[in-house]
Structure 1
Amino acid sequence: MRSALAELPAAQQPEWGDASRLADAVAELRAMPPLVFAGECDLLKQRLAAVSRGEAFLLQGGDCAETFDGITADNVRAKLKTLLQMAVVLTYAASMPVVKVGRLAGQYAKPRSKPSETRDGETLPAFRGDIVNGVEFTEQARTPDPARMVRAYNASAAALNLTRAFVGGGFADLHQVHAWNTDFVRTSPAGQRYERIAGRIDQALRFMRAIDVDSENVRKVELYSSHEALLLDYETALTRVDSRTGAPYDVSGHFLWVGERTRQLDGAHIEFASRIRNPIGVKVGPKTTSDDLIALAEKLDPEREPGRLTFVTRMGAEKIRDGLPPLIEKAMASGLVASWVCDPMHGNTYEAPSGHKTRRFDDVMDEVRGFFEVHRSLGSHPGGLHVELTGDDVTECVGGGDPIAEDGLSRRYETVCDPRLNRTQSLELAFLVAELLETTH
């Protein structure tokens, strides 16, 4: 497949330098077993079809950029714990299933606004994620290394193994997850206003115990992996033909998305996404026109297959209410079948006086509110959230109920790329969205 894309423009790709080292890494990846299976991708597609029909809600979250050093049991557990806590609250409020998808086990490549970075008069290649080069500002670290793709595969396999062990081994038990949320409500300054929702969830669980409901769904969850399909050498090397159907699947993750910087209709990324049978997402920003949207849908989902296509809107709080309606109206008029999901993070980034890249929690929440308002006014389904978050108590986004100030960002600013919501901010977002969902349904 890589040769078929070679003639097309491919944005945001590294300059590997040594062609023989690249060929060796790609050959090694092609011989590796799948990280996920085509049948799992098809099952996720069924779940996303329910989202597109307004019968389910998608929660997609995790790191902005995973790191190799971050693949530890503690880190993976903390992210899963936060996602599961959010999902319980949203499931109750929406009165419908929540499809849980992690930005994990593959989110190692990052697009950059500039190909290089200059510090103190020295210019080096930009950091493009651990799959390409190192974050340290040295010539050795910043030189793209194809062998890192193999290391990314191994790190993804380890993360998936940890994830499957946790969600299948009792960690995801609904009663335990709710107990974590109860602790959050009781002890966090941000949590006290959410006692009403937490109390109602507790009542529902007590009722289930009283009538002796003992379902596998209470103790286990489905959780899928996702990442941006950015690094084409990696993604094409992990594309396999499914023995059941004869169709190609990218077995590096269940759900792949094409970013705002690489969604050119005549580019290699959209062409690649059109050829694989995974469920696909496309990020759309304030410059996306209605015609752009329809053209992307025709290219990526010409058969109008339910669950195949998800539009992830990233407008910014100031633009969501004006930029989103024309897209939804055109999609509805054309009979387009897609899920609509809100990414309230990427359109609200700014630089604090300290030089840290950050986001205001209030802006994040305002974009979510605008997303719901638009869908409510048009009679369409606000299908989900796509959020950069961590289970750790980092200080990367300002505000929230337990507020972080701009002058406190440096205390635990740990991201290697974009700022993430910490655990408290993530749970507060879930409870606030729960209030919106209760008024929508």
Structure 2
Amino acid sequence: MSTTIPSLEQLHALHPLQQPTYADTDLLGRVIAELRKRPPLVFAGECDDLRAKIADVAAGRAFVLQGGDCAETFDNGTALDIRGKLRVLLSMAVVLTYAAQVPVVKLGRLAGQYAKPRSKDTETRGGVELPAYRGDAVNGLEFTAAARAHDPNRLMELYNHSAATLNLIRAFVTGGFADLRAVHTWNQDFVRNTGVEARYEALADEIERALAFMVACGVDKQAFRTVDFYSSHEALLLPYEHAMTRVDSRTQTPYNTSAHMVWLGERTRQVDGAHVEFARHLRNPLGVKVGPSTSPAAAVALVDALDPGHEPGRLTIITRMGADKVRDALPPIVEAVEATGRQVAWICDPMHGNTFEAANGYKTRAFSQVVDEVNGFFDVHEELGTWPGGVHMELTGDDVTECVGGVADALAEADLPNRYETACDPRLNRNQSLELAFQIAERLTDGRIKRVNPVQEYRVEDF
């Protein structure tokens, strides 16, 4: 592992994609210099802990639940908003832990997901063309020339909002909010109040009996109160990610201290590109997204570049195929990567390949297609004898109306305008998220998935 990372100038020479265009480069330089002096948001030891947990995922001993906003915004990073997303993720994790009978690695798409790649550099409305919205870390959502200008000062806001979010999350997960018994109460409320199918209520009752059994056996009640929770985001804005990278004094290796895990997106994963060149020097656990256009050879080239040492826990492959393509496009990629001898974690992103425009003009996703892609992901791994290591979702704790379908809400396209609040892509609301967790739980308990290497120990905090 390298003790240095390429300079920004070296990365710029590789013509990085999806980067902001700053008019004031002197201001950008001052902001980057200030960010380099700021304290890290996460610590090397925490990243090492996550890497060890992802190694368990790769070995079939754990399951990843990764979720959060499509694009966080500065205005919506309130305590209520953060609490709502955390509550949904913890509720889902309890269901999945009980179903899979393995620890669930809880990985938030939080505290840094403020930038988004875009298919076009500009947006036109009423004959007016302005720069596209690239997330609050770059510019504003309001369609004005002033708001859409790329502003380096927003990188400092990105840091400050990420720090505040992480501070609150740490307080929540250690201060009693994440108490296992309280989290399960939320699941009971869901199955009782939303009219979902009886099989969900049966699973919730099983979990209730299991918790009662642990208490009766004398399990320390204090152990119910805390959980492990990690942050992640797409490493898109190279000036920010580079400025937040530090060389750890213990190991003399570079860690990106903006998040425990960072991933490369479908648009920036070129094996000879700037983002791969930057990421391959980091000691953090890494993710990379692959879509249906990825060839097996391209996937192998990526894992060769990002995981040259064949280190378990180093690399997570996040597949985003689309419900209609996953069963055909995924198997050759899995077979090619597995043939390299690496232990990577395979995670399904059932969101990004299933976006469409509703008749009323709203960008949306159908819950049924999200479920179908998850089932296709499980089908592929069942057939190949590999472990379906987790799911990656865009979700919120609010009662938004952004994705259609679901038994609990049964949202139709006509419902979309009611509470369509996302800054970018449509998210599952809290009922849809919990319903999906129960459906995944059924796949994990149906006996068809091979347990590669069952877990040997269980801790209460693994819930």
Q: Do these two structures clear the TM 0.5 threshold for a shared fold by scoring above it?
A: yes
Match of 2:4 in 1: none
Shift in alpha-carbon separation, 1:303–1:235, aligned structure 2, 3 A? same
Asked if 1:51 is matched to 2:47, the reply is: no
The residue identity in structure 2 corresponding to 1:247 is T
1:400 is matched with which residue: 384, 406, 422? 406
2:290 counterpart (284, 290, 299)? 284
Q: Secondary structure at the match of 1:282?
A: strand
- What is the deviation of 1:191? 5.6
Tell me what 2:186 maps to: 180
Cα offset, 1:209, TM superposition: 1.2
Inter-partner Cα distance in structure 1 for 2:258 and 2:95: 30
Asked if 1:68 is matched to 2:67, the reply is no
C-alpha deviation, 1:205, in angstroms: 0.6
Q: How many angstroms apart in 2 are the aligned matches of 1:330 and 1:193?
A: 38
The separation in 1 between residues aligned to 2:53 and 2:171, in whole angstroms, is 22
Shift of 1:160: 0.3
For the residues of structure 2 that align with 1:191 and 1:258, how far apart are their CA atoms?
38
Q: CA deviation at 1:350?
A: 0.2
Q: Is 1:204 the counterpart of 2:210 in the alignment?
A: yes
Q: Which residue of 2 aligns with 1:29?
A: 35
**1:6-27 deviation line (CA, Å, top 9, x unaligned):** 2112010011111111111111
Matched-pair contact (CA < 8 Å) for 1:9–1:266: no
Instruction: Give 2:424's match in structure 1, choosing from 417, 421, 424.
Output: 417
- Give the match for residue 430 of structure 1: 437
1:2 aligns with 2:8: yes
Post-superposition CA distance 1:110-154 (Å, at most 9, x none)? 000000000000000000000000000000000000000000100
CA distance in 1, matches of 2:34, 2:79: 27
Contact kept, 8 Å, 1:117 with 1:125, in 2: the verdict is yes
Q: Which residue of 1 aligns with 2:334?
A: 328
In structure 1, what is the Cα distance between the partners aligned to 2:65 and 2:10? 34
- Aligned residue runs from structure 1 range 291-440, under 5 A: 291-401=297-407, 402-439=409-446, 440=449
Q: Letter of the aligned partner of 1:25 in structure 2?
A: V
Q: Match of 1:305, SS?
A: coil
What's the CA shift for 1:190? 2.7
| CA RMSD, 1 decimal | 0.9
TM-score where L is the length of structure 1: 0.99
What secondary structure is seen at the aligned counterpart in 2 of 1:226?
Answer: strand
Q: Whole-Å Cα distance in 2 between the matches of residues 143 and 249 of structure 1?
A: 31
By how many angstroms is 1:102 displaced?
Answer: 0.2
Cα distance in 2 for partners of 1:156, 1:221 equals 20
Partner Cα separation in structure 2 for residue 246 and residue 137 of structure 1: 45
Worse-superposed segment, 208-217 or 102-111: 208-217
Question: Which consecutive unaligned segments of at least 5 residues does structure 1 have?
Answer: none
Secondary structure of the corresponding residue to residue 306 of structure 1 = coil
Aligned AA for 1:412? R
Which digits, 9 at most, give the CA deviation of each residue in 1:346-365, with x for residues without a partner? Answer: 00000001111100000000
Q: Distance in 1 between matches of 2:401 and 2:197?
A: 18
Pairwise CA distance, 1:215 = 5.6
Q: Secondary structure at the match of 1:344?
A: coil
One-letter amino acid of the structure 1 residue matched with residue 442 of structure 2: E
Gaps of 5+ in 2: 1-6, 452-463
**How many residues end up aligned between the 2 structures?**
441
Residues 312, 342 of structure 2: 8 Å contact kept: no
| 1:156 correspondence with 2:156 | no
Q: How does 1:92-107 map to 2 (within 5 A)?
A: 92-107=98-113
Task: Please point out which of 83, 91, 111 is paired with 2:89.
Answer: 83
Asked whether the 8 Å contact 1:290–1:326 carries over to 2, the reply is yes
Residue 18 (1) aligns with residue 20 (2): no
Q: Tell me if structure 2 keeps the 8 A contact 1:190–1:400.
A: no
CA distance in 2 between partners of 1:99 and 1:320 (Å):
24
Secondary structure, aligned partner of 1:257:
strand
Q: Pick the aligned partner of 1:251 from 235, 251, 257.
A: 257
Whole-angstrom distance in 1 between the partners of 2:10 and 2:31: 19
Code of the aligned partner of 2:405? G
Deviations 1:158-191 (A, max 9, x none): 0001100000000111111001101111101236
The alpha-carbon deviation at position 195 of structure 1 amounts to 1.0
| Equivalent AA in structure 2 for residue 87 of structure 1 | A
Task: Name the % identity.
Answer: 62
TM-score (norm 2): 0.94
- Please report how far the alpha carbon of residue 336 of structure 1 lies from its aligned counterpart in structure 2 after TM superposition: 2.1
The one-letter code matched in structure 2 to 1:375 is H
Measure the CA separation in 2 of the matches of 1:92 and 1:249.
33
On the 8 A contact 2:303/2:337 being kept in 1, the answer is: no
The aligned amino acid for 1:415 is T
Structure 2 partner of 1:40? 46
Distance in 2, matches of 1:190 and 1:151, equals 41
Partner Cα separation in structure 2 for residue 81 and residue 417 of structure 1: 22
* C-alpha separation in 1, matches of 2:306 and 2:223: 33
How far the C-alpha of 1:29 sits from its partner, in A, is 0.6
Partners of 2:221 and 2:273 in 1: how far apart?
47
- Which of 127, 130, 142 matches 1:124? 130
Equivalent position of 1:264 in the other structure:
270
Q: Output the CA distance in 1 between the equivalents of 2:398 and 2:360.
A: 22
Which SS does the other structure have where 2:426 is aligned?
Answer: coil
CA distance, structure 2, for counterparts of residue 132 and residue 225 of structure 1: 20
